[in-house]
Chains A and B, each alone.
Chain A
Amino acid sequence: MTFKKSSYWMFLIPCLLAITLVIIIPFIQGIYYSFTEYNGFQVAAFIGLDNYTRLISDGQFWDSMLFTAGFSIASVIGINALGLGFALLVTQKFSKITSTLFRTIYFMPNLIGGIILGFIWQFIFLKAFASIGEITGIDAFNGWLSDTNTGFWGLVILFVWQMSGYIMVIYISFLNNVPEELLEASTIDGANAWQKFWKIKFPLVAPAFTISMFLTLSNAFKVYDQNMALTAGGPFSSTEMATMNIYNTAFKIQEMGYAQAKAVIFLVIITIISVLQIYITRKREVDL
C-alpha cells in the first residue's frame, strides 16, 4: 500500500516551503550579494570578486578568525575533558539523589541563553574578581575584561562552564552502554579504576568523541551571544569573534555585500574544519 503521490507532497510541502524560503533562497541570494555592493536596500553595483580580494587584506577579519580558532581549540579541550570527567563522576555508584543532583547542577548553565550567561560572567569578572583581588591582594584578578588575553580566557571559561554539562550528557549515554559484566570481570581480574577507564570505558566511548567534538567545535565557531554580552568585542575589537565581525560589517556599517563575502568564507572554513574533524576522529575510532 504505497503512499499516494498527491498526499506525499501534501505532507512534505510545509517543511520544503520553509527550508526553501529560509535557507535555500537566502543562501543562493547570499552568494550573489557577495559579488555586489549591496547596502541592505539595493544592489548598487556588481563588482565581481572585489569583496573577496578586499577580504584577503582585511587584518581585522583574520584577527577575529584567529581569535575564534584559538577560542575553539581551548574550549573544545576544556569542554570535552570536563564533560567526560563529569560523566565518569555521575555514573559512579552514588545514591540516585546525589547523582541526579550533580547532573542537574552541571547541566544547569545549558538551559540559559548565551546573553544572560554572558552578563552573569560579566558581573563575576568585573565585580567578584575585583573583590577577590582586593581581599587577596593578587593583582591578576583585576580588569579581566579590559585586557585581550584575559578577555580570551574569560570567554573560554564562560563557554566551558556552559557546554560541559551538555557534553556530559552525551558521554553518560555512551558510558551507560558499557556492559556491566565487562567491568565486573575486569574487577575480578584485578583491574584498578584507572585501568578500567583506559582499557574498557575509553575505547567504548570513542564514538562519543566524534559527536562531542563535532558539536563543541561547530558551536564554538558560531558563538555570538556570549561574545556580545561578555566583552562586546572589546577592548578595541580585540576579542571580536568571526560572527561578531560579520554582524558588525552587515548591520553596524551596513556593508552587506562585503559582510556576505565574509559569511561565505566563514561557511567554507566551518565546513572544511567539520569534515576534517569527522574524518580524523572517525579514523581514530577504528584504530582503537
Chain B
Amino acid sequence: MKQQKLSVYIYLFLGFITSVIWIYPFYLVIVNSFKTKGEIFTNTLGLPNDGTVANYPEAFIQLDFVRSFLNSVFITGFSILLIVIFSSMAAYALSRRKTKTSTLIYFLFAILMLVPFQAIMIPLVSIFGSFDMLNRFGISIMYLGLGSSLAVFLFFGALRGIPTSLDEAAIIDGCNRFQVYRYIILPMLRPTTVTVIVLNAIWFWNDYLLPSIVINKEGMYTIPLKTFYFFGEYSTQWHLALAALVLAIIPIIILYMFLQKYIIKGIADGAVK
C-alpha cells in the first residue's frame, strides 16, 4: 500500500510538470500582452515591469472585434442549426425505412467523409460564385454539406437505441411523421445533439481556410480571418498582436469553462462512435 501512495505522488508530480509546460505558451502570450512594445523585446519571459492595458482597446478596434465576433456567431450558429435539424431528419428517415436505397444513401454519406476539402475547394468556389452565394449564408450551406455526413452517422447510431414502437404508438395517436420526429424523436436525441453541436461548433468557429476563400468583403470577416489579416498588417507590433490573440481566445475559454463537461463528453462520443 505504501508503494502505491508513492506512485500516486510520482504521477501527481508528472502531471503537474506537463500541465505547466502545456499552458506555458498561453501564459507567455497573456503576460506579454500587458507589456509595452519595447518591453516585449527586452523582457520577454518575465512579468511586466509597468503593466499596461493600453494594447487591448487598440487591438479591440483594429480587430473590429464586435463585428468579427458577430460574424463568427452568425456563421457558427446558423450552420449548426442547419446541421442539427437536417442531419437528424435524414438519419431518422434512413433508420426507419430499411430499403436498398437507404443502405446506398448511408454508404454515400460514409464515403464522402473521406474527400479532403482541397479536392473540392476550387469548383466549390466557382459553383457558389455563379449563384452569388459567396457570403455568410453560402458558407452555412457549405458547412451543412461538409458536416452532415458525420452528424447523420452519430444520429443514426443513436436512433438504433430508440424503439420503433414509440413511433408507432404516436402515429396511432394521430401524429404524422413530422410530428413524431418533432415531439418524440428530436427530444430523445438530445445527448447526440449536444455531441453534434460541440464537434461542429469547434470546427466552424475556428475554421480559417473555407472562410478565407469564400468571404471577400472585409465586413463579413470572422474572428480567425480577421486575426490573420490583422497579423499581416501588424506583424512587427507584437504588443497589439498578442492582445488580439488573447481577445480571440477569450470567448472560447469562457464557453469552455461553462460547458466543459459537455464538451469533453461530446468529443469522446464523436470520436469513438
Q: Number of residues in B with C-beta < 8 Å to the partner?
A: 90
Interface string of B142-156 (1 = CB under 8 A from A): 101110110010000
Give per-residue flags for B5-38: 1 if the beta carbon is below 8 A from chain A beta carbons, else 0.
0011001101100110011011011001000000
B256 to chain A, nearest CB (A): 6
Q: B120 near A119 (CB under 8 angstroms)?
A: no
Query: Hey, which bits of chain B sit against chain A, CB under 8 A?
Result: 7-8, 11-12, 14-15, 18-19, 22-23, 25-26, 28-29, 32, 40-41, 44-45, 82, 85-87, 89-90, 92-94, 96-97, 105, 108-109, 112, 114-124, 126-127, 141-142, 144-146, 148-149, 152, 164, 167-168, 171, 176-178, 181, 202, 205-209, 213, 224, 227-228, 231, 238, 241-242, 245, 248-249, 252-253, 256, 260, 263-264, 267-268, 271-272
Q: Are B148 and A18 in contact (CB under 8 A)?
A: yes
Contact between A106 and B22 (Cβ–Cβ < 8 Å)? yes
Picked from A22, A172, A229, the residue with its CB within 8 Å of the CB of B268 is A172
Contacts of A132 in B (CB 8 A): 45
Q: Is the CB of A170 within 8 A of B120?
A: no
**B26 in complex: contacting residue of A94, A108, A225, CB < 8 Å:** A108
The answer to whether A128 and B44 touch (CB under 8 A), given A22-B124, A27-B119, A247-B118, is: yes
- What separation, in Å, do the CA atoms of A121 and B245 have in the docked complex? 11
Please provide the chain A residues from 209 to 238 with a CB less than 8 Å away from any CB of chain B in the complex. Answer: 211, 215, 221-222, 224-225, 228-229
Please report whether the interface of chain A is mostly helix, strand, loop or mixed according to DSSP.
Answer: helix
State the CA gap A268–B40 with chains docked (Å).
46
Number of interface residues of A (CB under 8 A): 92
Instruction: Say yes or no: A11-B92 contact (C-beta < 8 A), given A116-B249, A169-B267, A228-B208.
Output: yes
Select B127's contact among A25, A135, A169, beta carbons within 8 Å.
A25
Report Cα–Cα, A101/B257, bound state, in Å: 11
Nearest Cβ on chain A to B88's Cβ, whole angstroms: 9
Q: Which of A85-93, A147-155, A178-186 contacts B (4 or more CB under 8 A)?
A: A85-93
B92 to chain A, nearest CB (A): 6
Alpha-carbon gap, A250 to B207, bound state (A): 19
Do A25 and B123 touch across chains, with their CB atoms under 8 A apart? yes
Does residue A21 face the partner (Cβ distance < 8 Å to B)?
A: yes
Smallest beta-carbon distance B11→chain A, Å: 5
Are A8 and B93 within 8 A (Cβ)?
Answer: yes
Q: Does A23 contact B (CB under 8 A)?
A: yes
Task: State whether A33 touches B209 (Cβ < 8 A).
Answer: no
- Report A3-34 CB contacts with B as 1/0, cut-off 8 Å: 11001110110111011011111110110010
Let me know if A60 is at the binding interface, CB within 8 A.
Answer: no
Instruction: Find out whether the CB atom of B272 lies under 8 angstroms from the CB atom of A108.
Output: no
Q: Do B241 and A101 touch (CB < 8 A)?
A: no
Contacts of B92 in A (CB 8 A): 11
Q: Which of A50-58, A71-79, A257-265 contacts B (4 or more CB under 8 A)?
A: A257-265
Residues of B contacting A256 with CB < 8 Å? 122
Instruction: Decide if A169 touches B264 in the complex (CB within 8 Å).
Output: yes
A interface with B by C-beta (< 8 Å): 1-4, 7-9, 11-12, 14-16, 18-19, 21-27, 29-30, 33, 38, 40, 86, 89-90, 92-94, 98, 100-116, 119-121, 123-124, 127-128, 130-132, 135, 161, 166, 169-170, 172-174, 193, 211, 215, 221-222, 224-225, 228-229, 243, 246-247, 250-251, 256, 259-260, 263-264, 266-267, 270-271, 274
Q: A22-B141, A111-B202 are in contact. Are A116 and B122 (CB under 8 A)?
A: no
A-B contact pairs, 20 of them (CB 8 A): A3-B177, A4-B177, A15-B152, A16-B105, A19-B109, A19-B148, A30-B119, A102-B15, A108-B22, A108-B23, A108-B253, A111-B252, A119-B245, A120-B29, A161-B22, A225-B209, A229-B228, A251-B213, A256-B122, A267-B118
Known: A19-B145, A19-B148, A92-B8. A260 touches B122 (CB 8 A): yes
What residues of chain A lie closer than 8 Å to B272, measured between beta carbons?
A: 170, 173-174, 211
A30 touches B123 (CB 8 A): yes
Q: Given A19-B149, A89-B14, check contact A173 B268 (CB 8 Å).
A: yes
Q: Determine how close the nearest CB of chain B comes to the CB of A136; give it in whole angstroms.
A: 11
For the complex with contacts A92-B8, A169-B271, 10 further pairs of A-B residues with Cβ separation under 8 Å are: A18-B82, A18-B144, A25-B123, A26-B121, A111-B252, A112-B252, A124-B25, A130-B44, A131-B45, A260-B123
